[in-house]
Structure 1
């Protein structure tokens, strides 16, 4: 979060992976409860996100090259955090001072920043 705003930065390969993940049957209940569709979810990501294709890392960091691509994206985007459920990424803890967090951890940080923001503004 910078100046009270959050940005979603992604890359084409991650969008392709998301379109596959959104088809998982275990997500049916989420879409039913939210009265939303998988297509609407993808459209929202495309609308809210900025798609970039960063250069690869100078040297491999993870055993999975796809994970290195996520780290390269974080560096190129000057990310404040990487949000992932991937155990290999999470095991790093951070990369180049960028924390790698679960969605729950990331939400906690965002909520804490939002709660502190009005206090900083008025001081």
Structure 2
């Protein structure tokens, strides 16, 4: 029986973590998984780039590292135009991710954000850590 295709959103905090630790093994697993569609919106990409360019991160990774990762995202991700407006998250700044999950018909939202993780599920989207996702639970 073929493996079900996952439609996955990865939150900004994990993209930053990949850059900070330079531990791309989990990210490589995601990019190599042919049963996975990586989902992005322009807002998510803009947030990632804005956060990554903050002065406090300059000593941890170069602009070239950031550009290389953004290029990989651009090549690999399905970009979705978000039209839904969601207002249920405890942290209003996270609502755009739930709107993306709705409009992209995401199966998973992978994050380290406690406000999102506490939801566990939103509509048809499971919300979990990357460790939980990679363990197949």
What TM-score do the two structures reach when normalised by structure 1? 0.69
- 1:29-108 equivalent positions in 2, closer than 5 A: 37-57=65-85, 60-108=87-135
Shift of 1:13: 1.2
Matched, 1:2 2:34: no
Unpaired stretches in structure 2, ≥5 consecutive residues = 7-33
Find the aligned partners of 1:75 and 1:26 in 2 and give their Cα distance.
Answer: 34
- The structure carrying a bigger helix percent of its residues is 1
Shift of 1:19: 1.2
Find the aligned partners of 1:67 and 1:51 in 2 and give their Cα distance.
Answer: 18
Judged with a 3 Å threshold, the aligned counterparts in structure 2 of structure 1 residues 92 and 26 are, in CA distance, closer, same or farther, namely: farther
Q: What SS does structure 2 have at the residue aligned with 1:63?
A: coil
Find the aligned partners of 2:135 and 2:43 in 1 and give their Cα distance.
Answer: 27
Judged with a 3 Å threshold, the aligned counterparts in structure 2 of structure 1 residues 74 and 27 are, in CA distance, closer, same or farther, namely: farther
Judged with a 3 Å threshold, the aligned counterparts in structure 2 of structure 1 residues 42 and 104 are, in CA distance, closer, same or farther, namely: same
Judged with a 3 Å threshold, the aligned counterparts in structure 2 of structure 1 residues 26 and 80 are, in CA distance, closer, same or farther, namely: farther
Unpaired stretches in structure 1, ≥5 consecutive residues = 113-123
Question: Superposition RMSD on alpha carbons, in Å?
Answer: 2.6
Q: What SS does structure 2 have at the residue aligned with 1:7?
A: strand
Which has more radius of gyration?
1
Q: Name the structure 2 match of 1:120.
A: none
Q: Which has the higher contact order (CA 8 A, sep 6+)?
A: 2
Shift of 1:100: 0.3
Q: Name the structure 2 match of 1:11.
A: 41
Find the aligned partners of 1:97 and 1:11 in 2 and give their Cα distance.
Answer: 18
What TM-score do the two structures reach when normalised by structure 2? 0.63
